[in-house]
Structure 1
Amino acid sequence: MISFGNPDMLWLIVPVVIAGLYLYIRGTRTKLIITRIIIISLLIVALASPQVLMTQTISDENPNIVIISDETESMNIFREGTGDRIYESLAVNTPTTLMRLTGERTAIGDAIIQHSRGDNQIVLISDGNNNHGKSIEEALEFAEGTGTIVHYVKPELERNDISVEIRGEKTVFVDNENIFDIVVSQAGNEQIRYHLEVYHGDTLIRSGTFDQSERKKTVTRVSRTFRELGAHQIEVRVTPVGMDSNSINNRFYKSIYVIPKPQIQLITDDTSAPLSQILLNLYDVSVRKDLDNLDRRKALVIDNQHINSLSSADIQKIERYVTDGGGLFVVGGDRSFNYGDYLDSSFERILPVISEPTEYKGGRNVVIMLDISASAIVHHDGLIMETILSNAISLLRDEDLRDANVGVIAFGSEGIDVSNGFVYLGVPSNIDVLESRIKDLSAGPDTDLDEGLKIALDWIDEDIEEMDIIILSDGGIEDTYQPSLSLAQEINEKGGNFYFFHIRSSVPSQIDHRTNVYYSESLMANVDGHHQFIDFGERINIEFEELEDPPERDEEAFLDTFPLIEFNPNHFITRNTDLSANITGFNDITPKVAADRVVLTVTGKPVLTTWRYGLGRVAVLSTDNGYGNGNIWASEIYSGENARIISSTVNWAIGDPFEEEGAVLEGDDTWLGTPTTLELTMYEEGAIPELTFRGETLELSMTGRNTYETTINPDRIGVHHVSGYPIAVNYPLEYRDVGINEKMPELIRRHGGNVYTENEARGLLLQDTREMSERTVTQPVDYKMYLILAALILFLADVLIRRIREIQEMKNIKD
């Protein structure tokens, strides 16, 4: 597309044309007028500075390389001088810069962003443990966007190091049992031994000698019940038997702040049920149906109540209570949700679910076939390959496939079973694994679709009655068309439905493109499949053929066992639980659009669903209270470790567990060298209390209505107190994550870089960076001189032709 630097100059052509027409009408020499108009117009267009954006591929024989050498304190367990040696091997052959990271914090992400210029490549030498600034993944995405490739050199581990930490809640309730995990990490993969001691205050509560070969392990869980309100502390000490480089991370402190049990209200018809017993043990529970004092409660729990048991006034009170910030936990059973006439009621409006069966989406088997041939990568600067992979990942996260079984097959010079058979997408971790494997795919030289179809045929032979096969390709299947057609027809006869998405070439007139279209369309025509073109970057729009709904469950099927899975393991409710329960029944409900599905059955039915309503939080457990009026559905949820899901759900619904009276101070534990912020909330009018730290008064800044903040940065490890409120300060964060970050190689490869050992880098890195320095750039090409030359040539040609004619005419006159 042509653009102009000075487009206003083009208006000068108008008077030139008008003058030319005037002279032409007056009978002036016609040919002379035409040539002069053309010459002057060319010069005017040249003055307008015409430019055309040209895309071209350039490469550097001597690429510009930036080495980021992590030399922070945690790197003292690795072989020293790796950055210097690699710098020396590169600097003599190509422009190379060495940048060192030092100190007691590692800002790898910030360093990558700082040096990603688009015309260089970065070599990172580090353990990969980023603890300050932008995350490594954010930085790699930024670098990829600028065109900078980041490579990774794994340093050589010379000495082992052991670190310890305590995980658990800081704010706990008096007289409740609390669980704290003791986690020990090591830099290597050795068989290590250490002695461990756990203290509550000055009292030893657990000790023992442990063996460990894992990089990170939850060594033990400590149970502790605090009988006194206020500040407490737990400390763990590790004494390694053998080599340990840094002793600073062998001790860890955790501050605990004990508060009164929150007041909650329970509406139930059975206080002997497991649900009621757990709540009565953990909270200050009022069991009543009267909602007059609801504002004094931190949460309301409604257990298996029919809609008729709640008056319109009650529902209005509940809605107002939740909107203003209260917590609501609704538990199912045989008189609630779909059995309790909740559908379309004003009470249902508050809930994150609709009381009707979830639309059936299970039972579908989908095969995603990805063309990873060289043609898909090389042509059009890799845009075809990018479109294929991005669409595959988009399909994995398609809401219509959330309960489907999906298999991924790649085909290049051979067929690759990427997913290892069918994978259930109802588990988020399965989606993450498939996405990672898709991003790591590399190209093969050919487009052997038949090799991929052979794998699909094996899958449909394994008692699968129906299967949807989605092919994403540039259509270059000419060489394997006949065997591919035979396999596709066999799959089609056995219940396979085909969808071929052909990534359209930007030059549709090309012969090879027309050929590709012919074969891809012909293949789909022969198997009654769907053929559709998509452009670079476009998302596919697929409408699957409807599957028959499963038959209604009879009573025997209703009593079958349904294992539960944590659909969202990162939710507050599930992050510290290990749910391994089965249920025999549930309320068949449908989550609303904004709801968060936390726990499901393995068949995809929602069991624990949450959302925010106004300022409050609402959770729904769509199974019973563990007793269920004799028709027991969910007794396993309320026993052993599984019961933590109940307390976690109530704690999530409560949100802020502090009593809303007086002044409340909150703050997180921190690491040496890392400031921590404390928030003071005033629930009653009056003088703002002074906060003191080490005898000095802290300055408070107002951050909102009745809320204030202050920041402290203690310079000593241990437990400190701010006006009696505990803050634990542990070893610098630099020493927590020891050894190589095992996620680094995958992250680097996912964003186009290579991973090396030091010896591999010194031998291969320069050649690889040269090969990978090819990049596509779009630059404006100025056509001004071409137009001036054209005008000059036309002028000279005109003069020369007229001069030749004049000479010829003079000769004719003489003759």
Structure 2
Amino acid sequence: MITFSQPYFLLIGILALPALYLAITREPNFKKITAFTKALTVLLIAFALASPSLTVSEERNSKDRLVILEDNSRSTEIMHNPNLEFEDIEVERRSIASGNISDLSSGILQNIDNDKTYLLISDLQSSIPLNKVSSRVNQRNSTVNILKPEFDPESAVKIEGPETTYTGAGSTFNVKVSSTEEKIPEPQVKLNDEMVELQKTGIKGEWRFTETFDQEGYKTIEASISSRDKFRDNNNYYKTIKVAEKPEILVLGDKGRISQEFSDFYSFEQRDQLPDDLSPYYAVIAKKNFNEADLASYTAKGNGLIYTGELEEENSVLPIRKSEYEDQGIKMMLLIDASQGSGGECIEGAESFCFERKDEGGALERTQKISYLLLDSNTLPAGSKVGALYYNNEPHLISKPKPLGENKHREKLQGGITNIPTGGNNLHYRAIKAGQEVMDGEGNLMLISDGKVTALGDFYNDTRNSRELAEQSEQKIISVMVGQNPSEFMTEISSLSGGYSISDVKSQEIQFQGGDSSSRAVSLIKNDNNHFITREVKVDGSTSGFYGAEPKPGARQLVSGTNSEPFLTTWRYGIGRVAAFSGGEKDLGATMYRNSELVSRTLSWTVGEPQRKENRTITIEGGQIGEKVRVTANYPVEGLNRQGENLYTGELETENTGFHSFNDAVYSYNYNDEVEEIGYSENKNLAQETGGKVFTLDQKDEIKESVKQFNSTEVEKQKDVSVFFLAAALLVFLSEIGYRKRRGKK
């Protein structure tokens, strides 16, 4: 676009109008031509005097730049300074954490721009999990590399165990030592000032002891290590335990095994009918139907309920209802990994980046067998619409989904699976994308693979692309993990899509809605890992006899069968807690045999605070340096503020670590948990899933080449073009002179 800084000079162009008139009206060609050239010369000079300029865009390149995300939290004070300085690279440092705050997740995301590469220097000890960071980084099309640091000698000790226990109950406590040293110091533990004998757990840096208390009251445990290091306050840890009477639980129905299994922790009373007064009971285990009016008020006031009976009618207290699901065939696409994996000598490409190998390897034989058996008539009914594709670095369609009973489609599909050729590396994301396109928004995708991501996969960002497809998938992805050491990649992909993963050993237990699976034993799987009941709890085994239930809106389905029917569902009713088991036997005998901790956690969650029914209770949460200690009581206490009926709260300021007391209640005060986990947290997923690498301090040249960024900026500038108009005017003027001389005119 041309602009003029002195446009008033364009008025000179008016002087050219008479010449133009003569050029048009005169008869001789000579006079016409000379009049035209004079007019054009005047116009060009007028344009030049108006200072014309042209707006143009150009890229200005700056020097290479390295952006470092630095973790400056307290736990990193023992890290060696990497001293990353380069003569020809500009280094920009951004702090993502400091002091006693280690929210690396927020710190990283706040400093990530679009289409950039970063180097993260951190011990990766984060107060907030980093598992969602990679997907956010991928959305911005950026890459995070990690520098694995070296550390000074440092150790920290911690005690894990219950805050409250009951007389006669055995309580187990774990003592953990986190250390950067090769030889981890062994802790010493005192219980009420008396030494305790520890047992090794078989896990590096962990010891354990079990204690049974006969008397009520507060008990103290102190753990210490001998270590000459920077942080002295984390060499001691203090823990208090309150020993109380066992909470009473009412069992509606047969007392059964559940009462025997947990009698050390709870006092069970069996009734065939609900009593008029339920106030002594912390929770009710109902093994048969009950009138919702009898338990609605009791539960809403903060008590617990566990229901294991069958659903006969609608009950507003329970988190489940009868399913309205109609028996229909499923729609599913099998995605079968047919790559050669790592087997044999590389015959095309380098060993670290191989495209083809001489001998067959990988997981094909196992994936073929699983796929073939899944098509068995006992697993998938004739009305099920099933298709399949196999994949290596490209997907290859065997068949689109069709009813298995139509034109012998089941047999044709099995035949196609047995004839899958082997070859190449795998690219999982291409198979997932192809499966989604074939399914067109309906059904399930079953990914059958060992989940290994090869060098070719890294080159094509296989992990990142698969994650993005799974997060946006309209279909649930069921991952069947093949082999002895399948990649966690499979579990992650299925979880992101709302599906689940299962080992190949259990793959034949998979059942699908529409296959009349209610009476067959199916495997149990965990659906929610963030609830108190299921957090870090392993769910194993199988069950049968599902009651045809579905979760109500607002409920949380924690465990289900591989047939997608709920097995354990919870919700809050008022301020009470309700859990419903909708499969297996009413006494949960088989469930306790395989999943005792699942039932134990369910009891603990529904019972809630064990002292809440006492007339005078005071609860003090253990504190740490830099924080105040919170106190709650159900009666008036000096220094506490009334918040409501039977609720008084306040905060205590404590300076020194150790044991302290307030109003006869004992509490512990420890070092800040910022220096609880010491050293480097082996978390390579963040780098791998964003297309980055993990470097060590001796890889300075590799860091330089992989992480530097070449910056270019597009800028707009005004370019003066008046000289071109003057040159054009001069050219026209000289042309006129030449023309006159040629015609013999002056």
How high is the TM-score relative to the length of structure 2?
0.62
Name the aligned partner's letter for residue 618 of structure 1. Answer: V
Match of 2:591 among 637, 644, 667: 637
Change (3 A) 1:668 1:576: farther
Partners of 1:352 and 1:594 within 8 A in 2: no
Name the aligned partner's letter for residue 703 of structure 2. Answer: L
Change (3 A) 1:150 1:569: closer
- 1:234 and 1:625 map into 2 onto residues whose CA distance is 41
- 1:723 and 1:624 map into 2 onto residues whose CA distance is 48
Name the aligned partner's letter for residue 300 of structure 1. Answer: V
Matched with 2:685 is 746
Name the aligned partner's letter for residue 90 of structure 2. Answer: P
Matched with 2:367 is 459
Change (3 A) 1:184 1:643: same
- 2:370 and 2:436 map into 1 onto residues whose CA distance is 31
Change (3 A) 1:780 1:58: closer
Partners of 2:198 and 2:208 within 8 A in 1: no
1:737 Cα deviation (Å)? 1.4
Matched with 1:571 is 531
Partners of 2:525 and 2:560 within 8 A in 1: yes
Partners of 2:113 and 2:140 within 8 A in 1: yes
Aligned residue for 2:699, secondary structure, equals: helix
Partners of 1:472 and 1:501 within 8 A in 2: no
Change (3 A) 1:717 1:302: same
Which runs of 5 or more structure 2 residues have no equivalent in the other structure?
Answer: 5-9, 25-35, 344-351, 376-385, 401-411, 421-429, 438-467, 478-510
Matched with 1:351 is 319
2:241 aligned with 1:256: yes
State which drifts further: 135-144 or 708-717: 135-144
Identity of aligned residues (%): 17
Alignment of 1:357-376 (within 5 A): 366-367=334-335
Matched with 1:289 is 273
Aligned residue for 1:758, secondary structure, equals: coil
Change (3 A) 1:538 1:189: closer
Change (3 A) 1:801 1:742: same
Partners of 2:247 and 2:610 within 8 A in 1: yes
1:741 Cα deviation (Å)? 1.0
2:162 aligned with 1:169: yes
Alignment of 1:301-700 (within 5 A): 301-305=285-289, 310=291, 314-315=292-293, 317-323=294-300, 325-332=302-309, 336-337=310-311, 340=312, 342=313, 345=314, 347=315, 350-355=318-323, 366-367=334-335, 459-460=367-368, 464=372, 465=375, 468-469=388-389, 494=416, 501=434, 539=472, 552=516, 558=520, 564-575=524-535, 583=543, 585-592=545-552, 594-601=554-561, 604-623=564-583, 634-638=588-592, 642-659=595-612, 665-671=618-624, 673-680=625-632, 688-691=636-639
1:501 Cα deviation (Å)? 4.5
Partners of 2:166 and 2:213 within 8 A in 1: yes
The structure with more helix, counted as a fraction of residues:
1
Name the aligned partner's letter for residue 646 of structure 1. Answer: V
Matched with 1:730 is 670
1:619 Cα deviation (Å)? 0.8
- 1:676 and 1:453 map into 2 onto residues whose CA distance is 59
Deviation per CA, 1:760-812, whole angstroms, max 9, x where unpaired? 23x4222333xx4146x7x6654765xx85x9978997998799799989999
Deviation per CA, 1:394-415, whole angstroms, max 9, x where unpaired? xxxxxxxxxxxxx6688xxxx6
Change (3 A) 1:459 1:281: closer
Deviation per CA, 1:641-672, whole angstroms, max 9, x where unpaired? 9544334213322444443676754343233x
Match of 1:764 among 702, 705, 717: 702
Partners of 2:333 and 2:435 within 8 A in 1: no
1:175 Cα deviation (Å)? 2.9
Match of 2:125 among 120, 125, 129: 129
1:354 Cα deviation (Å)? 3.0
1:155 Cα deviation (Å)? 3.0
1:749 Cα deviation (Å)? 3.5
How high is the TM-score relative to the length of structure 1?
0.58
Alignment of 1:202-281 (within 5 A): 202-204=193-195, 206-208=196-198, 210=200, 214-217=203-206, 219-225=207-213, 227-229=215-217, 231-237=218-224, 249-262=234-247, 264-266=249-251, 268-272=252-256, 274-275=258-259, 278=262
Aligned residue for 1:759, secondary structure, equals: coil
2:90 aligned with 1:95: yes
State which drifts further: 463-472 or 220-229: 463-472
Name the aligned partner's letter for residue 726 of structure 1. Answer: V
Name the aligned partner's letter for residue 164 of structure 1. Answer: V
Matched with 1:519 is none
Change (3 A) 1:469 1:737: same
Change (3 A) 1:453 1:467: farther
Deviation per CA, 1:347-393, whole angstroms, max 9, x where unpaired? 167423435679789895632xxxxxxxxxxxxxxxxxxxxxxxxxx
Deviation per CA, 1:519-575, whole angstroms, max 9, x where unpaired? xxxxxxxxxxxxxxxx9999465699xx99665469xx75x5x55454444421134
Matched with 2:709 is 773
1:637 Cα deviation (Å)? 3.3
Partners of 1:198 and 1:234 within 8 A in 2: yes
Deviation per CA, 1:586-623, whole angstroms, max 9, x where unpaired? 43433345433323346554322212344433211124
Alignment length (residue pairs)? 623
Partners of 2:572 and 2:578 within 8 A in 1: yes
Deviation per CA, 1:209-238, whole angstroms, max 9, x where unpaired? 6485x4454x32524346314x33233455
Matched with 1:152 is 146
- 2:435 and 2:524 map into 1 onto residues whose CA distance is 40
Change (3 A) 1:649 1:362: farther
1:177 Cα deviation (Å)? 1.9
Matched with 1:436 is none
Change (3 A) 1:196 1:568: farther
Partners of 2:387 and 2:398 within 8 A in 1: no
- Bigger radius of gyration: 2
- 1:288 and 1:44 map into 2 onto residues whose CA distance is 102
Name the aligned partner's letter for residue 768 of structure 1. Answer: S
1:51 Cα deviation (Å)? 9.5
1:494 Cα deviation (Å)? 1.5
Name the aligned partner's letter for residue 494 of structure 1. Answer: G
Change (3 A) 1:107 1:409: farther
Name the aligned partner's letter for residue 216 of structure 2. Answer: E
Partners of 2:248 and 2:269 within 8 A in 1: yes
- 2:744 and 2:435 map into 1 onto residues whose CA distance is 73
1:675 Cα deviation (Å)? 0.8
- 2:550 and 2:52 map into 1 onto residues whose CA distance is 66
- 2:585 and 2:63 map into 1 onto residues whose CA distance is 69
Partners of 1:67 and 1:96 within 8 A in 2: no
Change (3 A) 1:227 1:97: same
Partners of 1:354 and 1:592 within 8 A in 2: no
